[in-house]
Amino acid sequence: MPTLLLVRHGRSTANTAGILAGWTPGVDLDDTGRAQAAALAGRLAPVPLVQVVSSPLERCRQTLEPLLAARPDLAGPERGGTAPGEPALDERLGECHYGEWTGRPLRELAEEPLWRVVQDHAAAAAFPGGESLRGLSHRTVDAVREWNGRIAAEHGDDAVWLACSHGDVIKAVVADALGLHLDHFQRINVDPCSVTAIRYTARRPFLLRMGDTGDLAALAPAPAAGADGDAAVGGSTGAA
């Protein structure tokens, strides 16, 4: 099965202000976020991507703009975008629907009784007027699995594709890949504009990178022992 690169959007104005943005429209990247997005395009230059998919929210689409400007073959209607330069959009990769928590300061939300449930027992957390973290996990993992199957059929098992999404979404997908109970997904950290790489196989997923903000050249596909899903006994020998 293909390798998925999960990119968290660059730093946004809501991140800077300490606001839980959710699906609030008009939340853009700040200056740091735009610089991160520009650097991301260069970091990904050695990786032969076959597909780019995005959350429909502005901050994710803005994060992908430099990448798609440099690699226009990954955008447009022929790649599932609605217009030239646009990536394929999938609402299932969108941010959690935080309901009544949307738009509120994090320092204020930390005083809510639900905050401790979100922190310590995420599988039981449901946001008033929004969705549960269990529901978030189900929709995002379903989306990834569906895209994996589609990309494998069109491009083969060695294909690499990218999805630009949000912190809680990426943490939920990583938890699933690791077989980690959702109650523990808060142990995972992904910084703005970081790359998390998961190689899916018939037997198990392999977490190759998590929250990586450095060089990505080693993620270009290369022949490897254990390509059928067996783990390297004693540990991997590293990139070729």
For residue range 120-152, what is the model confidence (pLDDT) as tens digits?
A: 999 999 999 999 999 999 999 999 999 999 999
Task: Give me the mean pLDDT over the 83-109 stretch.
Answer: 95
**Is 179 exposed, middle or buried (CB count within 10 Å of its CB: 0-12, 13-18, 19+)?**
exposed
Asked, for residue 53, whether it belongs to a domain, the answer is: yes
Residue 226: what residue type? G
Asked, for residue 221, whether it belongs to a domain, the answer is: no
Asked, for residue 181, whether it belongs to a domain, the answer is: yes
Asked, for residue 142, whether it belongs to a domain, the answer is: yes
Tell me the β-bridge partners of 198: 4, 207
Q: Which domain holds residue 105?
A: 3-215
The structural domain count of the chain equals 1
Separation CA 215–CA 42 (nearest Å): 9
Q: What percent of the chain has pLDDT over 70?
A: 92
Asked, for residue 236, whether it belongs to a domain, the answer is: no
Q: How far is CA 41 from CA 49, 111, 152, 160, 186, in A?
A: 12, 39, 24, 15, 28
User: Which tokens go with 138?
Assistant: 């189900």
Q: What is the pLDDT of residue 233?
A: 43
What's the CATH number where 71 sits?
Answer: 3.40.50.1240
Asked, for residue 232, whether it belongs to a domain, the answer is: no
